[in-house]
């Protein structure tokens, strides 16, 4: 079967005796069948006969027969078969055309809020036609995040072939990201490669979730770090650390009660939201009154929600008298403890009027006091006995904070009901512990350092205090009272020893005491001898 122009055709052959009438042997017509090649179609209207042997043929007609085309040749009924073979050729114009495949389906898009471009759509029909293995574009969709928004996390757009053969579809996804790598735009181009047969009923689903707003931090200073404990008269260099949103501009001033000085002039927080500045506090001349320094963070970007005071103050004292005394608490007076009690005025100069027996010295920035006294009964006869050899901090008064509790709920009040006021005096520092954890309520207060944000103003009864600022508390909440005014000592070597070989009963009291921090007012630490010795007349 000959092939030409993307089709094949039949080649009818007849045996006709010579000199016989041809029509009587083969009939009035002869049919040639045109069959399109696979992937092609033949249409009768596309074919025509441009020439034929008019001696034997009177007409040629093309008709459709299913996928095929019939070429019907009408013979002249008076023709006679010659003595030799007779070939009746036709010159035919026409060809089979590539077969077009159809695709049909629908898509739906669900689009969330703050999205521009294409919107939500339901069961939108798409269709296309094309030759086998060719590719045709079906549709494109573009979605934009509204200005100031983006898609992030797991909420990003998606497209899925819900029904249909995925291998015939091609989806090109084109995302666009901003300078911070946030997805702000996405486009989908859907194409189809035609198989060898028509397809219908496919479904595509597009999901474009709502976008989220791009967080643009507002410039602000949110916190700071600074040691607000009492300054000595030696002055100090302390670091002010300012925290907040990176790039925030701010300033700071320092006022000494007379003069205001700019210590930070229009600086900005670094990429980590941090800025550090050393603040120098000068030496206070001996005899001058105390100074209250005020630091103020300035600028329009200071956060009103900052949970720290602004401005804030730092007190500088001139001299704080720290005195070591004793409480006999034994049945007889004693001798051997100096008339002028050992004391140290800090910060102080070496030629302060210390009694020689106090043995006060300075070592690596710490003031040290050495006690070394032999004590005896001041009158009568009797003997001492050692009841406790080691001397520790707890043997001195005011070194341990008083632990009490609130006994009634208060809301921003200066009146505080407590379990006991024994040992509390006006000026003592007071700290109300957090309910959620054992923490304190202000800078420096966790260590019990001066200055305290809250102090005792007056002791009104055995169970009620007036405090310096309104505070809130609940029944049973912990309260700690610091009676040392922020002065801290540490006994690192101490002992009570009964001396033998003496005519009179004698006890040696020995202790090395470091003054680790000075507070904001004078203090006397009393050593209770009854913790260490007993006396029998």
> Could you say which architecture CATH assigns to the domain 221-316?
Sandwich (2.60)
Q: In what order do the strands lie in the sheet with 68-75?
A: 3-4, 7-9, 29-36, 68-75, 57-65
Distance CA(71)–CA(64), nearest Å, equals 9
Contact 74, 28 (CB under 8 A): yes
By CB atoms closer than 10 A (0-12, 13-18, 19+), residue 11 is exposed
- Cβ neighbors of 487 (< 8 A, separation 6 or more) are 320, 322, 450, 515, 517, 518, 519, 523
Q: Output the pTM of the full model.
A: 0.50
- The residues spanned by each domain of the chain are 3-98, 101-213, 221-316, 320-397+488-536, 402-482
164, two tokens: 């249909």
Q: For domain 101-213, give the fold.
A: Immunoglobulin-like (2.60.40)
130, two tokens: 């094309």
> Could you say which architecture CATH assigns to the domain 3-98?
Sandwich (2.60)
> Same CATH fold, 221-316 and 101-213?
yes
Residue by residue, pLDDT tens for the chain (537 residues) are: 566 788 899 989 999 999 999 999 999 999 999 999 887 889 999 999 999 999 999 999 999 999 899 999 999 999 999 999 999 888 999 998 888 899 999 999 999 999 999 999 999 999 999 988 899 999 999 999 999 999 998 899 999 999 999 999 999 999 999 999 999 999 999 999 999 889 999 999 999 999 999 987 787 899 999 988 888 777 889 999 999 999 999 999 999 999 999 999 999 999 999 999 999 999 887 777 889 999 999 988 888 778 888 999 998 887 777 777 777 655 566 776 654 444 444 433 322 333 333 455 555 556 788 888 888 887 777 788 899 899 999 999 999 999 999 999 999 899 999 999 999 999 999 988 876 544 444 444 556 888 788 899 999 999 999 999 898 999 999 999 999 988 888 998 999 999 887 778 888 889 888 888 778 788 888 888 888 888 887
186, two tokens: 């996405």
Contact 237, 289 (CB under 8 A): no
């Amino acid at each position: 079967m000959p092939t030409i122009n993307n089709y094949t055709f039949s080649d009818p052959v007849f045996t006709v005796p010579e000199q016989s009438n041809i029509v009587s042997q083969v009939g009035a017509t002869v049919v040639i069948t045109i069959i399109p090649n696979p992937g092609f179609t033949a249409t009768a209207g596309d074919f025509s006969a441009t020439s034929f042997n008019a001696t034997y043929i009177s007409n040629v007609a093309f008709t459709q027969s299913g996928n095929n085309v019939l070429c019907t040749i009408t013979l002249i009924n008076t023709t006679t078969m010659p003595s030799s073979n007779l070939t009746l050729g036709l010159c035919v114009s026409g060809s089979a055309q590539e077969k077009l495949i159809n695709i049909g389906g629908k898509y739906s898009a669900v689009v969330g809020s703050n999205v521009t471009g294409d919107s939500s759509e339901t069961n939108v029909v798409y269709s296309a036609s094309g030759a086998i293995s060719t590719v045709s574009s079906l549709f494109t969709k573009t979605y934009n995040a509204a200005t100031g928004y983006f898609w992030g996390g797991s909420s990003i757009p998606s497209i899925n072939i819900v029904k249909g053969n995925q291998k015939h579809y091609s989806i090109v996804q084109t995302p666009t990201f901003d300078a911070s790598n946030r997805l702000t735009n996405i486009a989908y181009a859907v194409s189809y490669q035609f198989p060898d047969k028509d397809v219908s009923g496919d479904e595509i689903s597009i999901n474009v979730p709502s976008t989220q707003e791009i967080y643009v931090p507002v410039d602000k200073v949110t916190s700071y770090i600074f040691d607000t404990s009492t300054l000595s008269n030696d002055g100090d260099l302390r670091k002010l650390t300012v925290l907040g949103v990176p790039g925030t501009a701010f300033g700071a001033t320092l006022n000494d009660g007379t003069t205001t000085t700019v210590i930070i002039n229009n600086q900005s927080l670094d990429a980590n939201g941090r800025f550090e500045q050393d603040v120098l506090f000068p030496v206070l001349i001996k005899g001058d009154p105390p100074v209250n320094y005020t630091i103020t963070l300035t600028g329009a970007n200071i956060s009103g929600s900052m949970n720290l005071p602004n401005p804030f103050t730092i007190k500088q004292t001139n001299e704080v008298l720290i005195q070591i005394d004793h409480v006999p608490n034994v049945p007889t007076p004693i001798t051997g403890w100096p008339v002028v009690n050992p004391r140290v005025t800090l910060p102080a100069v070496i030629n302060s009027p210390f009694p020689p027996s106090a043995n006060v010295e300075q070592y690596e920035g710490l003031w040290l006091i050495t006690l070394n006294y032999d004590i005896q009964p001041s009158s009568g006869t009797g003997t001492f006995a050692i009841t406790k050899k080691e001397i520790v901090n707890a043997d001195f008064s005011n070194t341990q904070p008083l632990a009490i509790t609130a006994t009634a709920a208060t809301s921003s009040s200066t009146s505080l009901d407590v379990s006991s006021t024994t040992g509390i005096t006006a000026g003592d520092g007071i700290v109300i512990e957090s309910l959620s954890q054992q923490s304190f309520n202000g800078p420096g207060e966790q260590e019990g350092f001066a200055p305290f944000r809250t102090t005792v103003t007056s002791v009104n009864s055995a169970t009620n205090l007036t405090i310096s600022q309104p505070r809130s508390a609940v029944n049973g909440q912990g309260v700690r009272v610091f009676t040392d005014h922020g002065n801290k000592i540490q006994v690192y070597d101490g002992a009570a020893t009964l001396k033998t070989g003496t005519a009179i009963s004698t006890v040696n009291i020995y202790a090395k005491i470091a003054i680790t921090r000075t507070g904001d007012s004078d203090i006397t630490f009393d050593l209770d001898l009854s913790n260490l010795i007993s006396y029998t007349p």
